Structures are given as structure tokens and as C-alpha cells.
Structure 1
């Protein structure tokens, strides 16, 4: 990574870390967070949406996709 780079980050837990932001600032990287409502940046999200919508009635599937 070099200065002036831009990185897109999904809405994942580690991106909230102050260490991630401090590192990015130290090396001159601009971080841009992708909205969870932006599936066009990550096509697999549309697949996850369909699986979640269609299989919520199955206990194991619902449990696997639940956030704790």
C-alpha cells in the first residue's frame, strides 16, 4: 500500500478499530466504508439476501445467519 491509495471496507467489525484508522492515517490511505445497503459493491450479498429470505423458517439456517 502506498500513500494516496483508497480502500473500500465493508461494514465489518474490525474496521471500527482505532488501530485500523491509525494505521491508515499513518501510511496515507483513505478509508471509505461501504454501506450495508450497497450490494452492488459485493455481489454475494444478493445471494445471502435470497438465502436469508427463503430459509428463515429453517432453524439451523436462521441460527447460522443470526447476529449475536
Structure 2
């Protein structure tokens, strides 16, 4: 028996196997898509050092290939 709580809405999720729970660990397709939208919108982020900012380029500074 597999048991858990939906990370989006908190509803109980239970089933005899993962095959019986197509959206696990979510309770539904809706909750799965809500979570995906949060990732895409940047609501979930893993903190880390700031990315380096490249120096600005001025006209005429381009390298010839």
C-alpha cells in the first residue's frame, strides 16, 4: 500500500501500487500541473551564488571572426 499527501493541496493519496496512482505523488492531474506551473514561474528556486554579469559591450568592440 502506498500512502502520502499531495504536495499541492494536502489531500491524502492512497493506492495499492504506483501503477494505480498515475499522478503520484499528486492527487490529480490538476495538482501536478499547478506544481509544474510554480516551477516554470520560478516560485521554486534552489539558492546559490549569483551568476556573473558579463561586462557591457560597446559598438566597435566586437571581435572579427
TM-score (norm 2): 0.30
Which of the two has higher C-alpha Rg?
A: 2
TM-score (norm 1): 0.29
Which one has the bigger helix percentage? 1
